[in-house]
Structure 1
């Protein structure tokens, strides 16, 4: 080849260790941070990245992919080692284009009158109920969201007084909150951020404490799920909103006190992701005290926060802290059937499965994923943690576990039947 010729980009393919270093750097993580989350010393990460040790086994590779939020397995290991397997992003719902079009559009030129505010409020309440009770909640929301978003946008534009406009902005923020549940884990990260930001702007315009709390709760989750480089942003939103809400809580409505409790747990969740055990459990305790002061049987309409959810939240903290034995104990203690929301119950089952998997109870983990599928098939279909367990167990040396994992892979759409 002539020295002036363009080099072949595939002549010297990027090694696995180089890929790990690139993704780690993009996430803003140090070798020490990655090593701590993996349970290794920083020297182990250095050996991986420099290629002085062989590529780790699949369980370790999947854990690295989870921490670094790598979307496709072959992006991490190289196309020559793996088929194209999505790890954390769902396949994309059939109704995503219609929801996207409604989010992207603005009703600037229309003669159609907005529905009455009370009518829109009833439709939003119905949508939340469907979101919690339907096994395939994205299917239901996909039908409801396009018109809900358009109509709440119209209501804002056609409001005739400051009071009406603020109430309409609160309704619009609520519609965006519903949309964020639909868009989460779909293959369009930019759309998720657009929804989160618009929801927060509408909530701030409304000056409604509950709307602001919900928008902050969702925005903090979007930051946290973007990886360690965004944990500070998640904390800032959570703590700023709690400081805003705390002076109002003395005589606040139940839903405002509940969203404050949900935000307290979010602070603990992010601390657990940082591996800060004392801080994580301290926030869990604070959220638990808030939950006990709510009416018995109460569940927040957006977050499901209440007394019944705290056991599930304890499982999440233990799992994120990577404490296998404690995770399994919390998973065995926490009741799933008391959680009224089907997608939230399925999410809890997935967290229980992660706990059992961490503790080496692989059969129980697979059985628990089956229970998650029974509660809400769409939830497990779009959950990266569940997909990771199934993918790993599909290579188990135990025939029964391989067979069960293969059956789950078909159920949740990872493989063709």
Structure 2
């Protein structure tokens, strides 16, 4: 090895084991609990920590990092060029097929592309299936490869400008659906490819609704990347609203809804930044925009509607770390009016975060059980939910610990 090469921490099992032990003890976690979280025996954990076993493979290292709630993988491995996000979920079995479809281009095929109208009907069907299914990632993961390939082909084969723009609008929304599937999975570069391609296709379509949806998802990608990206998230949101604002007096319901969703998105980012007044101000404006929508209207991509504003209020309070206000807003929100199963599950997770902030861990676990009932795949990929469950698996209260362990087993955090 060159003297300038980066040392490989995996060749030093004692160093890895010592780091693992320090992090485990810092969490106040027993070897028994860590072993259960990573599917190993307590004696295996002891032997790794004592240097009797070599450092495990990368898959097991990642499980250990998540169980110990490590934000920087270097803290565990000693390798400074590696990082881990706590809120990343497992890789879905259909992720490889979706990635292959995104990364391929139908340049040499002689197959005729479906019409934009045909693709639009398939896309609407896919959104409906996503909202109805408890295993929504499985459902859309099955549909996406064909949709991506056909939408790309439709853009390439379009003959007239209007036909080309219509195909671009469909392709942009196909990428939007893809982003819902890819989010919180272990392929961050794929998430950004999907978000950026969706934004480009939307701009080329010159369709206000497509542009708004792509901007909404791009802002989320920035916001979920951490504080260093909050300004970029705001910039995307502000620019999209500037573009849509002149259209709003006579806007269709979908365009008004995406503008409302973007307005709330600005409040969401402000809340995560800790700016209380700005966050609630954006929520108020978004609520006014929701009030202009028909009573039963529900935007198929963002879930923006009159019904969702109660859930959005819970999110703002939770992101501001206001426990009592989170619980108060949860009491006012009516989750039964949210028709989308994954969005209803997401709301339950936000409620659970609020109860946790308010010092009500038993209610938080019960609320996460309701999230699981609504959409198991939502809670399985949600880092906030997993963090709460992992904390309560170590509770000193026996009944709480038992219920948390049961839920952890159901979502795959503990071996059955």
Indicate conservation of the 8 Å contact 1:92/1:187, yes or no: yes
- Superposed CA deviations along residues 80-112 of structure 1, whole A, max 9, x for unmatched, are 9xxxx9831111100111110000001111100
Give the equivalent residue in structure 1 for 2:365: 366
Sort the Cα spacing of 1:14 and 1:415 in 2 relative to 1 into closer, same or farther, 3 A. closer
Indicate conservation of the 8 Å contact 1:242/1:263, yes or no: yes
Give the equivalent residue in structure 2 for 1:214: 213
Give the equivalent residue in structure 1 for 2:149: 150
- Superposed CA deviations along residues 10-35 of structure 1, whole A, max 9, x for unmatched, are 6878998xx99xxxxxxxxxxxxxxx
Sort the Cα spacing of 1:86 and 1:414 in 2 relative to 1 into closer, same or farther, 3 A. farther
- Superposed CA deviations along residues 137-171 of structure 1, whole A, max 9, x for unmatched, are 11111110000000011110111111000000000
Indicate conservation of the 8 Å contact 2:65/2:76, yes or no: no
What is the deviation of 1:78?
A: 3.0
Give the equivalent residue in structure 1 for 2:102: 103
RMSD: 2.7
Sort the Cα spacing of 1:147 and 1:395 in 2 relative to 1 into closer, same or farther, 3 A. same
d(CA) in 1 for partners of 2:77 and 2:398?
27
d(CA) in 2 for partners of 1:387 and 1:76?
22
Give the equivalent residue in structure 2 for 1:293: 292
Sort the Cα spacing of 1:56 and 1:366 in 2 relative to 1 into closer, same or farther, 3 A. closer
Indicate conservation of the 8 Å contact 1:87/1:387, yes or no: no
Give the equivalent residue in structure 1 for 2:348: 349
Aligned residues: 366
- Aligned 1:325-404 pairs, distance under 5 A: 325-404=324-403
d(CA) in 2 for partners of 1:8 and 1:110?
45
d(CA) in 1 for partners of 2:356 and 2:246?
42
d(CA) in 2 for partners of 1:363 and 1:101?
43
- TM-score normalised according to structure 1 size: 0.83
Give the equivalent residue in structure 1 for 2:239: 240
Give 3-state SS (helix, strand or coil) of 1:308's partner.
coil
d(CA) in 2 for partners of 1:92 and 1:215?
24
Indicate conservation of the 8 Å contact 1:90/1:186, yes or no: yes
Q: 2:198 matched to 1:205?
A: no
Give the equivalent residue in structure 1 for 2:282: 283
d(CA) in 2 for partners of 1:312 and 1:207?
32
- Aligned 1:65-214 pairs, distance under 5 A: 72=66, 73-74=69-70, 75=73, 78=76, 87-214=86-213
d(CA) in 1 for partners of 2:7 and 2:164?
60
Give unmatched runs, 5+ long, in structure 2: 30-63, 79-83
d(CA) in 2 for partners of 1:241 and 1:89?
28
d(CA) in 2 for partners of 1:185 and 1:55?
26
- Superposed CA deviations along residues 54-82 of structure 1, whole A, max 9, x for unmatched, are 95767xxxxxxxxxxx97335376369xx
Q: 2:317 matched to 1:318?
A: yes
Sort the Cα spacing of 1:144 and 1:197 in 2 relative to 1 into closer, same or farther, 3 A. same
d(CA) in 2 for partners of 1:98 and 1:415?
27
Give the equivalent residue in structure 1 for 2:263: 264
What is the deviation of 1:132?
A: 0.7
- Superposed CA deviations along residues 219-240 of structure 1, whole A, max 9, x for unmatched, are 0000000000000000000011
Give 3-state SS (helix, strand or coil) of 2:336's partner.
coil
- TM-score normalised according to structure 2 size: 0.83
d(CA) in 2 for partners of 1:14 and 1:395?
21
Give unmatched runs, 5+ long, in structure 1: 21-53, 59-69
d(CA) in 2 for partners of 1:77 and 1:171?
44
Q: 2:318 matched to 1:308?
A: no
Indicate conservation of the 8 Å contact 2:16/2:77, yes or no: no
Give 3-state SS (helix, strand or coil) of 1:307's partner.
coil
**Structure 1 residue runs of 4+, over 2 Å off?**
6-16, 54-58, 70-80
Give the equivalent residue in structure 1 for 2:34: none
Give 3-state SS (helix, strand or coil) of 2:351's partner.
helix
